[in-house]
Chains A and B, each alone.
Chain A
């Protein structure tokens, strides 16, 4: 008797699965362009790149030839190279505070922009601005060549937004210990960069915040919830999937930023036609990124709430 009921309950999901199975072929149709594309333009080149990292590249008259050298390239970076190790740890350690700051900053901005106030549409237009310019070469040129070089008379340099010398002087006169001071100033000096890097994140979060139905808040108001409770019980769970996207995006964005030390190293090798070393750095680097993102996703999974599940 017990066995038969068990069978019945077993049968039920099976029938449902057959509908799923029916749709599976449609799933393949939806995925098919991507499968072709990813094979042609990502998996194959990536595989070849990994091959490069295990070989020495000899440039001949018609293209180049590969000569297998085993783990020699990897050994170079982990044992001989004096800069790679420190650069890697520094890059990873830099990313953690900046991800947290960008997440907090963009959430605050999204929540501020959500409420109704005078001049809101103007404020929105301004806050999406970084999205337009920040990804381009323009900001790199501006930062590297024009603003940094102090194009006006030296002490009237308009680069003050990128450094905080006055503030540092004031703090040191106040007698704040040097270590604390240096960590404060690194954050202060990053404010511009962080603000500029959070354009996309603000956009994503704003879209998520606006998708929360107003009735949720109405109910909460009726029950007498405070703004603080409303944030943690309504806003936060509802936008949590987007927050995961934002966190992942920010991590990837900071890792693949051309300004960071490892990317510069990679590009230097690339420019000097040292493709094998460049490929090796690429391989080591994305293993690290994968680990970090995997870890973050594992931690965050607990806090994510999907409406459809």
Chain B
């Protein structure tokens, strides 16, 4: 009797106890993710929508996201204003060697920080933290003068050299992150290699490196992104051959000048609106290479983040 009652009760009970919380959880999760995801994608959606708009669209209250007509005028304007092709080439010439050098040097140096008790290592580590914290602007002028005296100013070599010596853009941060990664790896594997007569350099290369692949991938993506987006350093250390990011900072003023000239003929008071649309188009074509690169690498990137090392 009691057993029968139990089986009768258990069906709705299991639904209530197991399925419902799970359902609620997944519902809550989807709503949460959708909400935050929208916030994350908002600027890109906004840029895309804005850059296709004509002046009349921006006035039209019925047009919020989808423009009434499909036109590429804004893109053409932005493309010409920035001299896009040349700027992209400039970006790539700085970016690729710097990223390779930076990732290699940061791995090498951070291994030194994590594994060897060199005299004064704590002092050096303090110096590392120090170099991360200090904003570039506070030592920009002496750096500029020094680079000038080394005849490196206004060349790509200044970026390569800094990347190679572990002082490229945010190198300190990567060294810090990687040191933490290395410290979390068990020492036993390396000790086994030492006992077998491997020297520290080859141990680093053949034993440690294969185990930190996810970290390498993460650092590489960061490095690419920050070299691509940097405008403070390249803006100050270069006089010409500006990369995309620096060109974009100048677009707004160039745009206003050009539109002022055209204003008398066609546009009148709508300058501000048109310039916003063109600016949005300029922003979009600047981030487009980075986004498309990301979409290609994304799968390996997330997999790399996911892939467990031998930790634990």
- Residue ranges of A at the interface with B (Cβ–Cβ < 8 Å): 20, 23-24, 26-31, 33-38, 40-46, 48-49, 52, 63, 109, 112, 117, 121, 123-133, 135-139, 141-142, 145-147, 149, 151-153, 156, 158, 161, 191-192, 195-196, 200, 203-204, 206-207, 210-213, 215-216, 241-242, 244-245, 248-249, 252, 255-256, 258, 263, 266-267, 270, 275, 278-279, 281-283, 285-286, 289-290, 293, 306-308
Contacts and interface: CB of A to CB of B under 8 A. Distances in A.
A195 to B, nearest CB: 5
A281 B176 CA distance: 26
- Chain A contact surface mostly: helix
Given A27-B112, A141-B283, A136 B228 contact: yes
Interface in B33-53: 33, 36-37, 39-44, 46-47, 50
A207 B214 contact: yes
B228 A112 contact: no
Given A138-B43, A278-B137, 10 more contacts: A112-B33, A135-B225, A137-B248, A137-B249, A141-B248, A195-B40, A211-B309, A213-B311, A263-B135, A308-B187
Interface string B122-135: 00100111111111
A30 B138 contact: no
Contacts, number: 297
B4 interface: no
B157 interface: no
B109 interface: yes
A242 B299 contact: no
Interface in B130-159: 130-135, 137-143, 145-146
Contacts of B29: 112, 117
B136 to A, nearest CB: 8
Contact of A307 (B109, B131, B311): B311
Main secondary structure of the interface of B (DSSP, over half): helix
A282 B312 CA distance: 42
Contacts of B184: 211, 241, 306-308
Contact of A37 (B47, B118, B166, B308): B166
A235 to B, nearest CB: 13
Contact of A26 (B47, B116, B294, B308): B116
A30 B139 contact: no
B137 A212 contact: no
Contacts of B82: none
A135 B226 contact: yes
Given A31-B113, A138-B287, A207-B218, A283 B142 contact: no
Of all A-B residue pairs in the complex, the 8 with the closest CB atoms, nearest first, are A282-B138, A30-B112, A37-B165, A27-B116, A136-B229, A48-B142, A45-B142, A213-B312
B146 A286 contact: no
A275 B124 contact: no
Nearest to B188: A308
Contacts of A49: 138-139, 141-142
B18 interface: no
Given A27-B112, A207-B305, A308 B135 contact: no
Contact of A286 (B43, B138, B231, B301): B138
A167 B165 CA distance: 51
A285 B136 CA distance: 12
Contacts of B19: none
B173 A142 contact: no
Interface stretch (B7-15, B69-77, B260-268, B272-280): B272-280
B112 A266 contact: no
Nearest to A113: B33
B290 A132 contact: yes
B1 to A, nearest CB: 31
Nearest to B150: A40
A303 B291 CA distance: 38
B134 A46 contact: yes
B299 A121 contact: yes
B252 interface: yes
B16 interface: no
Contact of B146 (A31, A45, A151): A45
Interface of B: 26, 29, 32-33, 36-37, 39-44, 46-47, 50, 58-59, 61, 64, 105, 108-109, 111-113, 115-119, 121, 124, 127-135, 137-143, 145-146, 162, 164-167, 173, 175-177, 180, 183-187, 199-201, 204, 214-215, 218, 221-222, 225-226, 228-229, 231-232, 245, 248-249, 252, 272-273, 276-277, 279-280, 283, 286-287, 290-291, 294-295, 298-299, 301-302, 305-309, 311-312
Given A241-B184, A249-B173, A308-B185, A255 B113 contact: no
Given A146-B50, A289-B133, A211 B308 contact: yes
8 contacts: A45-B143, A123-B37, A138-B283, A266-B137, A279-B141, A293-B129, A306-B184, A308-B187
A46 to B, nearest CB: 5
Contacts of B47: 142, 146
Given A30-B112, A151-B276, A242 B180 contact: yes
Nearest to B176: A245
B109 A30 contact: yes
Contacts of B295: 125
A31 B143 contact: no
A151 B117 CA distance: 58
Nearest to A57: B141
B186 A308 contact: yes
A34 B276 contact: no
A48 B301 CA distance: 41
A123 B41 CA distance: 11
B249 A42 contact: no
A26 B44 contact: no
